[in-house]
A and B are shown apart, each in its own frame.
Chain A
Amino acid sequence: MTTVASPSRRQFLAGAGAIAVGFSLLGTGVAAADSAAAGSEGEGGEVRVDDPAGAPTQSWLVLTEDAITVFSGKVELGTGVQTSLTQIVVEELRLGVGDVRYVQGDTLLNVDQGLTAGSKSVQVGGVQLRQAAATAFAELSRRAAKALGVDPSKLRAADGRFTARGRTVGYAELLRTGTTVLPLDTTAPVRDPRDYVVVGTSQPRVDLPGKFDATFRFLHDIVPAGTLHGRVVRPPGRNARNPVIGNLDRAKAIDGVVAVVQQERFIGVVATSQWAAARAASPTTGITVIWDQGPALIQQADLPTALRDPANHYATVVEKDDGVAPVLAASDHVLTAQYFTPFQMHGTMGASTAVADVRPAPDPDTGIQATVWSGTQGVTALRGAIAGLLGLSPAAVRVIYEEASGCYGHDGVDDCAADAALLSQAVGAPVRVQWLRADEHGWEPYGGAQAHDMTAALGPKGITAWSHVIYAPTANSRPSAKNPGTLLAGALKGLLPDPLPATSVDSSGRNAPVTYGFPQRVEAHLIKSFETTGPASAAPSAPLTYRIPRTTAMRSLGGFSNSFANESFFDELAHAAGRDPLALRIASLPDPRAVAVCKALRDTWENRPTGGNGVGAGVAFQQYEVVNAYVATYVELHVDGATGQIHVDRVVVAHDCGLVINPNGLRNQIEGNVVQGISRALKEEVHYAGDAVTSLSWSSATPGAQYDVIRFNEVPQIRTILIDRPDQPPLGAGEPAIGTMPGAIGNAVFAATGIRFRTLPLTPDRVLAALNG
């Protein structure tokens, strides 16, 4: 049998019988119901399904007597998504939490599922999967009714069995009666949330025990037989050119060294062991590379000014304008303030890793020539980009998702996969690339620095008009299936990245608009990341010359910075108006769910420290992406007057993300947002000089300013208040809470010291200077 890895064909082992439901995890594809998937039974109990051309992207829920399997392109990001999705499936099937098998992120087995990003795995996937499970349950019920000779309404289901009139039939028996392939039935009845048994309970994560006894296999543990080891050698700066490799013979003389690979500015070494590769790549024991120095980036200290300089903008977008200009002009109480946040990095715990096996010719059976194992958030886009990089057709490339350490967005994993692919192609053997910490810190795509100009008018009843102007580089430079220049290795080979995006909406501008009731205006100036083909052009000019470090999607995108500006400025206005900051928020929010999360903090707020003497409390609110989860956060902290050190003592988060699937899992995610948010607000900043990033390690033990992150003894007590809305759809919880953190912290510091900080991070140096200043 010949299978072509066509993206529209799937095969399952159905055994004696099965129910297979096709659906779309993207949520947009409810039309799948109309374009019925065709199914046919093949030999050996295999079911082949063909998605009709042009059908929305398909995932499959397959029930056999042996297993429940979800074929999906969604990926597990270490936030317990799989456990929550399982709860949803078994709830509809009236089963307990057992094993639901997931076949995730493999371009051979799955079609394009888009990206697992923006914290919406449960929000989008969960609703679709629930309907798929309900569709399967309806078919099971139909079979049971027939088997027991009763009307389906008379059936009771529990523990894998249907009962009616004292007679019983098991799911396994029913599944053996034949194979049915169904499109998603959007009308299949779903369970009433009031009857939920599994959803809403704190199920332990299925993946954790194996992570605590080293039996779980991360991407980093994948080493196919015969795999060689690669290391990359990066330029000294973003714009360095014309490398000349020296000491080649010294490197090649190292036992186990297989090759030194150079393609334009992409340089790597391959060896039979990690250590040999490391030595060949090290300038003290292996190759040395001399580069022509390139133009400097906009200097770090100049960023707040430079981001506002029209010469660095390629476009201006008015995201929203409720007509605030006349109100501002007529008001006699207008406030303005300027904010800034720096470049920050995802800084995944395990430096990026990938394995690629690129063969000289396609496999005659599968047509696959290159197989890549990656922690990517988008297997399909990466497949296309790598195919272009290698000069292969996308059908000849298979990308397999394997879980890496938590990534919080588009970090180094895709670029690392491209490195492995190039090196494997060069040596004709599988290659595993392990980035070093300096590769990750120096070259991962960062979250962008942003500047904000805030203006608002105050009237007797509160805020009457609000304007937010942001200056921001792109928050999306993910791999594009059509352009290998979107991968670092491609750019180093001389290819150009995609043009910069035309809009800031829900990107660098995410959560720039507020959900308060007063009229507002949001305008975004989009920053040229690199030299472009003209003053208003978003397209890179050749050779690629960066003006600022490459930026991309990082947890909540521009939302972290935008909410810092919004919620700090709101606090400024409340104080200027002599109003209680929490009460003014409650009074300004039209949506009762928004008001509810704020009110949930009221007791805590009313019992807060009075402020001054270095101790203070602050609050912040945001509705994630303006339409999703609601979060209000209380922060209590103290400031050490002698050192400038801020210590967050206590955080309370009130959180409404609709129906709660797994309360303890949700709390875990919120806590992670809180801790990472504190770290970003107080400590994190990418440092660079000339065109070279200089913060290449975690620790200030390394000389120079490094990428310092929060330590265990800097973490506060955290309380989460979950507002469960069983009648509302589940909303993503992966990143809503982080956006409230910097504002709440800044507001608490103001309460503690009387000083308003408008620039992050709030390092001891910065705080001390202000205290003494």
Chain B
Amino acid sequence: MAMPTRAVRLNGSEVTADYESAGTGTSQASEPLLYWLRDRLDQHGPRFGCGIAQCGACTVLLDGAATRSCVRQMHTVADEADIRTLDGLAAPGGEPHPLQRAFTALQAAQCGFCANGLIMGSLAWLESRIAAGNNAVPTEQEIKDFLSGASPDNTRNYLCRCGTHTRIVAAVGAAAKEMIG
């Protein structure tokens, strides 16, 4: 059976790939965006942490919004959607993004498995604040609440199991300062 295909903009480039789908109409189900990105498009940033939208490890930006790709089915992703992953976050010349620089400067990881979600989730948050004209550097408490899913902008919790929290919060704050300029 021929598989449906999806054409999106991934980190600025047009890409097209098949995805698996079953059923039609309201009973349609399809491959999660996470598998599609990892297994068909060779992306390594988004990771399988829980598969049930509870940890953030799989976070990508879908049309600018932080999206838990483990539960986002491909048939609900529009053609021409704009997807950004950690793999494409550095500038084309390889210059790291302020978030990447801050995470390195503050050594904000132990195993680093959570880093994708924390960087991409914070990226979407900070960019959307800036786009909305909010140029205040978020306070430590705001960052903590954001990452805990306890802020007006976000109800989804991010996990780090290694306990690198204080460094991550500091890194997001340092990057925010730089991004806001």
- Tell whether B49 is near chain A: CB-to-CB under 8 Å: yes
B10 within 8 A of A: no
Neighbouring A residues of B39 by C-beta, 8 Å: 223, 273-274
- How far does the Cβ of A67 sit from chain B's closest Cβ, in whole Å? 24
Inter-subunit contact B148/A213 (CB<8 Å): no
Please judge, given known A-B contacts A214-B86, A673-B163, A674-B163, whether A273 and B54 are in contact too, CB under 8 Å. no
Would you call B90 and A213 a contact (CB within 8 A)?
Answer: yes
In the complex, what residues of B have CB within 8 A of residue A254's CB?
22
- Beta-carbon contact of B115 and A697 below 8 Å: no
Is residue B160 contacting chain A, with contact meaning CB distance below 8 A?
A: yes
CB <8 Å contact, B35 and A273 = yes
| Given A78-B110, A276-B20, A437-B54, also A712-B48 (CB < 8 A) | no
Docked pose: A669 CA to B115 CA in angstroms: 16
Contacts of A668 in B (CB 8 A): 107, 110, 164, 167
- Least CB distance from B20 to A in Å reads 5
A699 near B54 with CB under 8 A, answer: yes
Which of B61-69, B96-104, B126-134 participates in binding chain A? B96-104
Q: Does B177 contact A (CB under 8 A)?
A: no
Asked if A167 is at the interface (CB within 8 A of a chain B CB), the reply is: no
Contact of B166 among A207, A255, A715 (CB under 8 A): A715
The verdict on A351 contacting chain B, using a C-beta distance below 8 Å, is: yes
One digit per residue, 1 when the CB lies within 8 angstroms of any chain B CB and 0 when it does not, for chain A 475-518 equals 00000000000000000000000000000000000000000000
Give the complex CA separation of A216 and B161 in angstroms: 19
Point out the residue from A216, A350, A406, A713 that lies within 8 Å of B49, measured CB to CB. A350
The answer, among B48, B55, B96, for a CB contact under 8 Å with A212, is B96
Question: Which chain A residue has the least Cβ–Cβ distance from B85?
Answer: A214
Complex: how many Å from CA A574 to CA B104?
44
Which residues of B lie under 8 Å from residue A701 when comparing CB positions? 54
Contact of B45 among A80, A204, A214 (CB under 8 A): A214
B residues less than 8 Å from A194 (CB atoms)? none
B107 contacts A204, C-beta separation under 8 Å: yes
Residue A713 contacts which of B48, B110, B112, B148 (CB distance < 8 angstroms)?
B148
Nearest to B21 among chain A residues (CB) is A275
In the complex, what distance in Å separates the CA atom of A701 from the CA atom of B50? 14
Query: Is B16 engaged at the interface, CB distance under 8 Å to the other chain?
Result: no
State whether the Cβ of A205 lies closer than 8 Å to any Cβ in chain B.
yes
Closest-by-CB residue of A relative to B117 is A349
Which residues of A are found within 8 Å of B103, using beta-carbon distances?
A: 208, 212
Q: How far is the CB of A555 from chain B (nearest CB, A)?
A: 11
Residues of A within 8 A of B85 (CB): 214
Q: A718–B166 contact, CB under 8 A?
A: yes
The interface centre, meaning the residue of A668, A701, A702 with most chain B CB atoms within 10 A of its CB, is: A668
Closest beta carbon of chain A to B72's beta carbon, Å: 13
Taking the nearest CB of chain B, how far is it from the CB of A669, in angstroms?
Answer: 7
Q: In chain B, residues 81-133, which have Cβ atoms closer than 8 Å to a Cβ of chain A? A: 85-87, 89-90, 96, 99-100, 103-104, 107, 109-116, 119
Per the CB 8 Å criterion, the residue count for chain A at the interface is: 67
A84 touches B (CB below 8 Å): no
Cβ–Cβ contact B119 & A349, under 8 A: no
Assess whether B107 is in contact with A717, with CB atoms less than 8 Å apart.
no
B144, A255: Cβ atoms under 8 Å? no
Point out the residues of chain A lying under 8 angstroms from B6, CB to CB.
none
Q: Which residues of A contact B158 (CB under 8 A)?
A: 712
Give the interface residue-count category, chain B: 35 or more
Q: Is B13 an interface residue (CB 8 A)?
A: no
Q: Is the CB of B150 within 8 A of A713?
A: yes
In the complex with contacts A275-B35, A437-B51, A406-B100 CB distance below 8 A: no
A566-590, CB under 8 A of B: which get 1 and which 0? 0000000000000000000000000
- B32 and chain A: residue at smallest CB distance: A275
Which residue, of A676, A711, A713, has the highest number of chain B Cβ atoms within 10 A? A713
Residue A291 at the B interface, CB < 8 A? no
Query: CA A41 – CA B46 in complex, angstroms?
Result: 46
Docked complex Cα distance between A613 and B107 (Å)? 38
- Pick the contact of A79: B47, B54, B110, B169 (CB < 8 A): B110
- CB neighbours (8 Å) of B137 from chain A are none
Residue A761 at the chain B interface, CB threshold 8 Å = no
| B172 CB, nearest partner CB in chain A, Å | 10
B43 — which chain A residues lie within 8 A by C-beta? 214
Separation in Å of the A166 CB from the closest CB of chain B?
Answer: 41
Whether B162 is near chain A, meaning CB under 8 Å from some CB there, is yes
Residue of A nearest to B102 (CB): A212
Residues of B within 8 Å of A74, CB to CB, are none
Tell me whether B113 and A712 are in contact (CB under 8 A).
no
Which partner residue on chain B sits nearest A699 by CB separation? B54
Pick from A78, A285, A712: contact of B144, CB under 8 Å: A712
Q: In the complex, what distance in Å separates the CA atom of A198 from the CA atom of B104? A: 19
- Could you tell me which residues of chain B, from 30 to 83, have a CB within 8 Å of some CB in chain A? 30-32, 35, 39, 43-45, 47-52, 54-55, 57
- A98 proximal to B (CB < 8 A): no
Closest 4 CB pairs of A and B: A78-B111, A675-B163, A211-B112, A405-B113
Q: A residues touching B (Cβ–Cβ < 8 Å)? A: 77-80, 204-205, 207-209, 211-218, 220-221, 223, 254-256, 273-276, 279, 285, 347-351, 353, 403-406, 434, 436-437, 664-665, 668-669, 671-676, 679, 697-699, 701-702, 709-715, 717-718
27 examples of A-B residue contacts, CB within 8 angstroms: A78-B111, A79-B111, A205-B109, A208-B107, A212-B86, A212-B104, A214-B86, A214-B89, A220-B47, A275-B31, A279-B22, A349-B162, A351-B50, A351-B51, A353-B48, A404-B111, A405-B161, A434-B48, A668-B110, A671-B164, A671-B167, A672-B110, A702-B54, A709-B161, A710-B163, A712-B169, A718-B166
Q: A274-B35, A664-B107 are in contact. List 8 more A-B contacts (CB 8 A).
A: A217-B44, A255-B20, A349-B159, A698-B54, A699-B157, A709-B159, A712-B143, A712-B144
